[in-house]
Amino acid sequence: MIYDVIIIGGGVIGCCIARTLSKYDLKICLLEKEAELASGTTKGNSGVVHAGYAAPREYIKRNLCIRGNKLYTQAAEELNFPFQRIGSFVVALEDSQIKVLEEQRRQGIQDGIPGLEVILDKEKIKYMEPNINDEVVGVLHAPTAGIVSPYEMTFALADNAATNGVKFLLNQKVRRIKHQDYTFTIKTKTQEFKSRNVINAAGLYAARISKLVGLDYFEIMPRRGEYILFDRNALHLNKILFPTPTKVSKGILVCPTLHENTFVGPNAQNITDKKDISTTEAGLKEILEAGRKLVPNLPVRSSIRNFAGLRAVPDTYDFIIDNTDIYGFINIAGILSPGLTSCFAIAEKVVEFLELLGVELKIKEDYNPRRLKPERFKDFSKEELDQKIKEDPSWGRIICRCETIPEKEIINAIHAPVGATTVDGIKFRCRPGMGRCQGGFCRPRVIEILSRELNIPYEEVTKRGEDTNFLIAKTKDLTLKEIEGGTE
């Protein structure tokens, strides 16, 4: 079988392209090297949908970001992923910074970003965001900026794409690509796939994939960003808060999440190891100090997790969005911020490229753009809840106490179109273990449910795929081994 399109990479970009293309009558497959989707740059991401004023005008990412922001409204509605346009503040703490804000506003308005406004009235600023530093002198308010959960959105995109016929294959690290007779042959450890067209959305590894077909014209380097997440209700922010940008970075932000947490981060460290998602003592200190400049009363004692993500930084600075010289091979690389915002606009580009490549794009008759919202215990009224439990008793068995997640939501996550197969996969889909006890109570139960639903032994249940097993043996196994060893 020869696919029309193979997408390499199951992050938000790969899944967004898959979902956009699933509208057409094409045979599509997505390959992801990890055990779960959204495992790379998508996971350790701020989840901010930017308004689009930040990138310099000469970059294609500026327009893709502005366009991408607009496309979110419809996508969130069709796919039912949580998204809120809460608006952002770029915060000036010194008078000299106001002119930076004014310039961003002026250019942004020219480029069609709605509602940009520089607010100098401190009372009004404090009213809109009571937690902001008292020393604020002005803010750039961008009402179209919003927050999204990058991984929940990725799962929504993937589930909808899968429902519309896209095949998702996990644990498929691409090792070789052969290009012959207008056909790409892609080899992974266990399988071989053929496709007319290949879309490289491999994130941190996009340069490696590009080189597999002989296209060696860019490099991707990891830039690490560390975060600290605070407990729900420890601090309630209304707005996404950025510092006034410098030439290097948009800076460390303080931001609410869709689940009532607040986080601070990310810093920016250029590193060499693409697997180094460790946090550092110095880095955590750095982000707290930076965060305190925006919000002096950061609830440091209520932190529930620190984590780090990597950005895929291209040596070309701008996004690499190329219909390459190798016919049918499309590079979508170096998608760092505002990549999440731009994803729907990037997918439109891919459609244009495929048209240029002569791929017949016929809309499927049975295409369904809608994904139903995953049913959540918390969203039900008391009457609905009663009814639901009577229909399916697993709605009444609460597994995660902190976030009130019943067994049914976990079972649904496992049996979704692209279902969870690991404990982290479940955590990122429906949140058991995301709360303040961080899985202390629910993890044994989640392991039990995974073991049962996937029909695998306890010891084979992993945190996030190969080599991340939780349990190593049954009790007495080690002592028995020792006794047996002794008799030999």
Partner 1 sequence: MKQYNADVIVIGSGAAGLAAAIEVKKANLSVLVIERDKELGGITLQCIHNGFGLKEFEEELTGPEYIQRFINQIKELEIPYILNTMVIEISNDKKLYAVNNEDGLIEIKAKAIILAMGCRERTRGAINIPGFRPAGIYTAGQAQRFVNIEGYLPGNTFVILGSGDIGMIMARRLTWEGCKVKAVVEILPYVSGLLRNQVQCLEDYDIPLITSYTVTKIHGRDRVKGVTISKVDRNFDRIIGSDKFIECDTLLLSVGLIPENELTLNAGAELSKNGGPVVDNNLETTIAGIFTCGNVLQVHDLVDLVSAEAKRAGQNAVEYVKNRYDKKSSKKEIIKCLSGENVNYVKPDRINKRDLSKDIIFTLRVNYPDRRVLIQLKDNNNNLIYKRKKIYVIPSEMVELIVNLEKNGIDPKCKSINIEVIPRPEVLIEEE
Which residues lie near partner 1 (CB under 8 A)?
228-229, 275-281, 283-284, 303-307, 382-383, 385-390, 393-398, 401-402, 404, 406, 436-441, 443-444, 448, 458-459, 462-464, 466-479, 481-482
Minimum CB separation of residue 312 from partner 1 in Å reads: 18
Whether 50 sits among the annotated catalytic residues: the reply is yes
Alpha helix ranges (H) inside 33-94: 60-79
Minimum CB separation of residue 380 from partner 1 in Å reads: 9
Candidate list 50, 179, 236, 259, residue with the active-site label: 50
Q: Closer to partner 1 at the Cβ: 190 or 475?
A: 475
Q: Closer to partner 1 at the Cβ: 80 or 438?
A: 438
If you write DSSP's letter for every residue of 291-305 in order, what string do you get?
HHHH-TT--GGGEEE
Closest C-alpha among 390, 30, 78 to residue 195: 30
Q: Closer to partner 1 at the Cβ: 169 or 389?
A: 389
Minimum CB separation of residue 48 from partner 1 in Å reads: 22
The letter for the amino acid at 321 is I
The letter for the amino acid at 237 is L
The encoded tokens of residue 267 equal 């810093």
3-state secondary structure of 105: helix
Minimum CB separation of residue 307 from partner 1 in Å reads: 6
For 121, which DSSP code?
-
Q: Closer to partner 1 at the Cβ: 224 or 349?
A: 224
Q: Closer to partner 1 at the Cβ: 366 or 391?
A: 391
For 205, which DSSP code?
G
Q: Closer to partner 1 at the Cβ: 2 or 483?
A: 483
In sequence order, the 6+-apart residues with CB closer than 8 A to the CB of 169 are: 29, 30, 31, 32, 191
Minimum CB separation of residue 258 from partner 1 in Å reads: 19
Closest C-alpha among 30, 99, 59 to residue 336: 59
Contacts for 56-62 with beta carbons within 8 Å, 24 or more apart? 57/107, 57/111, 59/317, 59/318, 59/319, 60/318, 60/319, 60/321, 61/318, 61/319, 61/338, 61/339, 61/342, 62/111
Minimum CB separation of residue 74 from partner 1 in Å reads: 35
Q: How would you label 6-45 residue by residue, b for 16+ Cβ within 10 Å and e otherwise?
A: bbbbbbbbbbbbbbbbbbbebebbbbbbbbbbbbbbbbbb
Q: What does the H/E/C string look like for 347-410? A: HHHHHHHHHHCCCCCCECCCCCCCCCCCCCHHHCCHHHHHHHHHHCHHHHCEEECCCCEEHHHH
The letter for the amino acid at 394 is S
Minimum CB separation of residue 92 from partner 1 in Å reads: 30
Q: Closer to partner 1 at the Cβ: 277 or 418?
A: 277
Indicate which residues carry an active-site annotation: 50
